[in-house]
Amino acid sequence: MKKSSMLDLLVLVIRRDLVLAMRRRADVLTTLIFFVMVVSLFPLGVGPEMDMLRKMAAGVLWVAALLSSMLSLGRLFSADYLDGTLEQMMLAPQSLSMLVLGKMAAHWMVSGLPLVLMAPVLGLQFDMPVQALGVLIIGLLLGTPILSMVGAIGAALTLGLRGGGVLLSLLVLPLCIPVLIFGTGAVEAVSTGLSAVSHLSLLGALLVLALVFTPWVTAQALRISME
Among the listed residues 79, 137, 181, 211, the single contact to other proteins using CB under 8 A:
181
User: How far is the C-alpha of 199 from the C-alpha of 206, rounded, in Å?
Assistant: 11
Which string of x and - marks every residue 115-154 that binds other proteins (by CB under 8 A)? --------------------------------------x-
- Shortest gap between Cβ of 24 and other proteins (angstroms)? 27
Nearer to other proteins, 147 or 202 (CB): 202
Q: Are 86 and 160 spatial neighbours (Cβ–Cβ below 8 Å)?
A: no
Please choose, out of 16-24, 43-51, 52-60, 161-169, the segment that lies near other proteins by the rule CB under 8 A.
161-169
Is residue 195 classed as helix, strand or coil in its secondary structure? coil
CA dihedral 183, 189, 195, 200 (to 10 degrees): -10
User: How far is the C-alpha of 186 from the C-alpha of 188, rounded, in Å?
Assistant: 5
- Shortest gap between Cβ of 181 and other proteins (angstroms)? 4
- 161 forms part of the interface with other proteins (CB under 8 A): yes
- Shortest gap between Cβ of 37 and other proteins (angstroms)? 25
User: How far is the C-alpha of 160 from the C-alpha of 157, rounded, in Å?
Assistant: 9
User: How far is the C-alpha of 63 from the C-alpha of 100, rounded, in Å?
Assistant: 26
- Shortest gap between Cβ of 12 and other proteins (angstroms)? 27
Taking phi first (over 0 means left), then psi (-120 to 50 degrees means alpha), and beta for anything else, what does residue 47 get? left
Is residue 32 classed as helix, strand or coil in its secondary structure? helix
Among the listed residues 48, 84, 174, 193, the single contact to other proteins using CB under 8 A:
174
Cα dihedral 171, 210, 110, 118 sign: positive
- Shortest gap between Cβ of 192 and other proteins (angstroms)? 9
- 33 forms part of the interface with other proteins (CB under 8 A): no
Please choose, out of 17-25, 85-93, 126-134, 180-188, the segment that lies near other proteins by the rule CB under 8 A.
180-188
Nearest CA to 131 out of 191, 186, 59, 197 is that of 191
- 97 forms part of the interface with other proteins (CB under 8 A): no
Residues 182-211 that bind other proteins (CB under 8 A): 182, 185, 188-189, 202, 206
- Using CB under 8 A, count the residues that bind other proteins: 28
User: How far is the C-alpha of 72 from the C-alpha of 215, rounded, in Å?
Assistant: 18
Q: Which residues bind other proteins (CB under 8 A)?
A: 153, 157-158, 161-163, 167, 170-171, 173-175, 177-178, 181-182, 185, 188-189, 202, 206, 213, 217, 220-221, 224-225, 227
